[in-house]
């Protein structure tokens, strides 16, 4: 199958591209490199070995509908995995227009091109941020929880869920072969176990890489001290609890979902492990894995950060048999740690 991976020079998209190549698919990556890395594309090609000839890369913006359509026709693209997006909640509050442009208008442009080029399947990286601020009674979070995003990031993602739903219904009504899925991710972490790929965000906002950067002495602006936002939450140790899913398992969920989609389907799945870990538990696990001691400082809670968030991943398990294979956080930290130590400047090496 020929699969278009948007955002394939970024963290999750690069892992997806490599998995698809290893599975024997042909892959075309589209990324404007605004937040992605040419080095990630090179690393995918190196790791894919003899399958590297099945990889193409186009530096394109999602808003370039014509170029996308042309490229999809030229490669006879069958399915799209759409990862490209702007992804920072705080930035989205300060720069909402950029988020609506990239995450909604950009995605609409991609879908328009895909429709014109006869693409039949699309899997969209959605997010738990579309649920907004669930209360304690809503956890574990199921797909039928009302979606009330509280920031432009979540809202711009939810808007595309709606666009995709309406488009798929219209295709079904007119007999056109098209199906889609939105996978709503919780906290994604870890990296490819072969050591080829890693997580390189700039700035980094995810807990595990921040912890590891502090341990490596790479956050001098914070004296390499981890600020723990909130230490008086109603959780066992007072710190916030989240659901950490391995990036390789997440990619596996995409592969399973793509295989399961039938014409007319609009599927939505929460992708997590179904269990929560606190900030303190992540710190303890990172100390065990690295053998190093982390400096931490208690900081006030951040607005909009609920005490506990984790997925109920039962729907995808029941419908297509996917479950996160990695249940412990230590292996995810080990892989991330190995890649960071081997690549001190990330993909800028």
Ligand X SMILES: NC(=O)c1ccc[n+]([C@@H]2O[C@H](COP(=O)([O-])OP(=O)(O)OC[C@H]3O[C@@H](n4cnc5c(N)ncnc54)[C@H](O)[C@@H]3O)[C@@H](O)[C@H]2O)c1
Q: How far is the CB of 33 from ligand X (least distance, A)?
A: 5
Tell me, yes or no, if 185 is annotated catalytic: no
Cis peptide upstream of residue 79 (ω within 30 degrees of 0): no
Contact yes or no for 18/49 (Cβ under 8 A): no
In the bound state with ligand X, the residue whose beta carbon lies nearer, of 92 and 168, is 92
Pattern 132-171, binding to ligand X, x per CB under 6 A?
A: ----------------------------------------
In the bound state with ligand X, the residue whose beta carbon lies nearer, of 37 and 121, is 37
Instruction: Single out the residue of 3, 4, 9, 155 in contact with ligand X (rule: CB under 6 A).
Output: 9
The reply on whether position 85 binds ligand X by CB under 6 A is yes
In the bound state with ligand X, the residue whose beta carbon lies nearer, of 48 and 108, is 108
Pairing mode, if any, of strands 2-6 and 277-278? Answer: unpaired
Instruction: Single out the residue of 45, 77, 106, 242 in contact with ligand X (rule: CB under 6 A).
Output: 106
Specify the stretch interacting with ligand X by CB under 6 A; choose among 4-12, 164-172, 272-280, 317-325. Answer: 4-12
Q: How far is the CB of 175 from ligand X (least distance, A)?
A: 31
Instruction: Single out the residue of 28, 84, 117, 119 in contact with ligand X (rule: CB under 6 A).
Output: 84
Contact yes or no for 322/245 (Cβ under 8 A): no
Q: Which residues between 115 and 134 bind ligand X (CB under 6 A)?
A: 125, 127
Residue 269 CB neighbour total at 10 angstroms: 24
Q: CA quadruple 184, 189, 195, 198: dihedral positive or negative?
A: positive
Instruction: Single out the residue of 3, 4, 12, 214 in contact with ligand X (rule: CB under 6 A).
Output: 12
Q: Which residues between 199 and 228 bind ligand X (CB under 6 A)?
A: 201, 206
Whole-angstrom Cα distance, residue 206 to residue 130? 18
Q: How far is the CB of 59 from ligand X (least distance, A)?
A: 8
Q: How far is the CB of 288 from ligand X (least distance, A)?
A: 22
Interior CA angle at 273 toward 267 and 277, to 5°? 140
Start-end of H helices in the chain: 11-22, 38-48, 65-75, 89-94, 96-99, 106-116, 152-173, 207-215, 247-260, 279-290, 314-320, 330-342
Helix (H, G, I), strand (E, B) or coil at 214: helix
Specify the stretch interacting with ligand X by CB under 6 A; choose among 130-138, 184-192, 260-268, 324-332. Answer: 184-192
Instruction: Single out the residue of 5, 16, 28, 36 in contact with ligand X (rule: CB under 6 A).
Output: 36
Dihedral over alpha carbons 254, 271, 274, 283 (to 10 degrees): 100
**Paired residues of 303 in beta bridges:** none
For residues 157-171, one letter each, b for 16 or more C-beta atoms within 10 angstroms of the residue's C-beta and e for the rest, the string is bbbbbebbeebbeeb
Q: How far is the CB of 150 from ligand X (least distance, A)?
A: 15
**Candidates 99, 131, 153, 347; catalytic one:** 153
Q: How far is the CB of 184 from ligand X (least distance, A)?
A: 8
- The CA-to-CA distance between both ends of the chain, in Å, stands at 33
Whole-angstrom Cα distance, residue 101 to residue 5? 19
In the bound state with ligand X, the residue whose beta carbon lies nearer, of 85 and 164, is 85
Instruction: Single out the residue of 185, 244, 269, 347 in contact with ligand X (rule: CB under 6 A).
Output: 185
Instruction: Single out the residue of 48, 61, 69, 167 in contact with ligand X (rule: CB under 6 A).
Output: 61
| Residue 311: DSSP 8-state | B
**Joined tokens for residue 46:** 């190196």
Q: How far is the CB of 127 from ligand X (least distance, A)?
A: 4
Active site residues: 153
Binding residues (CB under 6 A) for ligand X: these are: 7, 9-13, 31-36, 61-62, 83-87, 102, 106, 125, 127, 185, 187-188, 201, 206
């Amino acid at each position: 199958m020929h699969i278009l991976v948007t955002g394939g020079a970024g963290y999750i998209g690069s892992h997806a591209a490599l998995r698809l190549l290893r599975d024997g698919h042909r892959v075309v990556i589209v990324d404007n490199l605004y937040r992605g890395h040419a080095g990630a594309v090179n690393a995918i090609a190196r790791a894919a070995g003899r399958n590297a000839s099945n990889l193409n890369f186009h530096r394109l913006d999602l808003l370039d509908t014509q170029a996308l359509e042309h490229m999809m026709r030229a490669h006879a693209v069958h399915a799209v995995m759409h990862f490209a997006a702007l992804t920072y909640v705080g930035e989205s509050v300060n720069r909402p227009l950029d988020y609506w442009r990239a995450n909604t208008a950009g995605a609409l442009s991609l879908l328009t091109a895909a429709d014109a080029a006869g693409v039949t399947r699309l899997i969209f990286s959605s997010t738990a941020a579309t649920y907004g601020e669930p209360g304690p009674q809503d956890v574990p979070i199921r797909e039928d929880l009302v979606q009330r995003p509280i920031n432009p990031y979540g809202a711009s993602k939810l808007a595309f869920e709606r666009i995709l739903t309406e488009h798929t219904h219209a295709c079904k009504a007119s007999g056109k072969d098209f199906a889609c899925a939105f996978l709503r991710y919780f906290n994604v972490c870890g990296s490819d176990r072969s050591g080829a790929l890693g997580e390189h965000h700039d700035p980094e906002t995810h807990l595990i890489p921040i912890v590891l950067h502090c341990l490596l002495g790479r956050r001098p602006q914070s004296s390499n001290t981890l600020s723990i936002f909130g230490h008086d939450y109603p959780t066992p140790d007072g710190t916030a609890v989240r659901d950490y899913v391995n990036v390789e398992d997440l990619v596996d969920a995409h592969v399973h979902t793509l295989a399961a989609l039938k014409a007319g389907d609009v599927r939505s799945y929460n992708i997590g492990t179904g269990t929560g870990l606190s900030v303190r538990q992540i710190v303890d696990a990172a100390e065990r894995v690295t053998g190093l001691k982390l400096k931490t400082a208690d900081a006030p809670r951040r607005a909009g950060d609920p005490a506990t968030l984790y997925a109920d991943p039962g729907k995808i398990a029941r419908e297509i048999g996917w479950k996160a294979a990695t249940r412990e956080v230590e292996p995810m930290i080990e892989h991330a740690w190995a890649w960071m130590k081997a690549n001190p400047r990330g993909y800028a090496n």
